[in-house]
Amino acid sequence: MDGHRRWAKARGLPVQEGHKFITPNLKNICNVSTKLGIQVITAFAFSTENWNRSKEEVDFLMKLFEQFFEEFMRFGGVRVSVIGGRSKLPIKLQKGIELTEEATKGNEGLHLTMALNYGGKYDMLQATKSIASKVKDGIINLEDINNKLFEQELATKCTETPDLVIRTGGEQRLSNFLLWELAYSELYFTKTLFPDFGEEPFKEAILSFQQRHRRFGGHTY
């Protein structure tokens, strides 16, 4: 989800006005996804690097996320999960996340994973440290380490490997998002800023994905 600040600045508005589209746009995307048969979405809401923004903007986002989880606690049968370091988040937000995860864990609709204070590099580092500690303590053997074991130590073990990554806002990079998980994901970059990213731009991204032929490193003859 990229482009909130540029959207606001282009209109002479405070950057907070762009961020206000996070909740309604994600609700819309969840609704459209359900209609299209999409079962899992992961949204990169706040990275480990986003703490470098102004205190005013960060504080606004934390309050916005509190409201987000309150609303998604009762939204359309969606199951909500959160990945990322929670200890640095405000206590009220941490409690809101816990309540929402608990309230929605039995929902059988779309699974929405929110990445908050998340970074792909950090996640791989903590997974490596955890495995090293278990080897040291004799819990696992060095020979036991494989892709499946490593993935069980990642924060993303609660969700699925993405088939498609959509980045709004025109930037063409991953920005430390799901670095392990995106090995064979299809990438789609659009110049549309997230506040303008509604049903039609979303469907265009899905159509682009459907027209691709995925080989996963193999050959087609």
Q: How far apart are CA 76 and CA 64, in angstroms?
A: 20
Q: How far apart are CA 181 and CA 110, in angstroms?
A: 20
Residues 6+ apart with CB under 8 A from 6: 18, 169, 193
Which letter does DSSP use for residue 142 in this model?
A: G
Known catalytic residue: 2?
yes
Do the Cβ atoms of 73 and 103 come closer than 8 Å? yes
Active site residue: 2, 137, 144, 163, which one?
2
Residue 165 sits at φ, ψ, to 5 deg, of -115, 125
One DSSP character per residue, 45-72 reads EEETTGGGS-HHHHHHHHHHHHHHHHHH
Q: How far apart are CA 31 and CA 22, in angstroms?
A: 14
Residue whose C-alpha is closest to residue 19's, from 54, 70, 65: 65
Neighbours of 52 (CB within 10 A): 8
Active site residues: 2
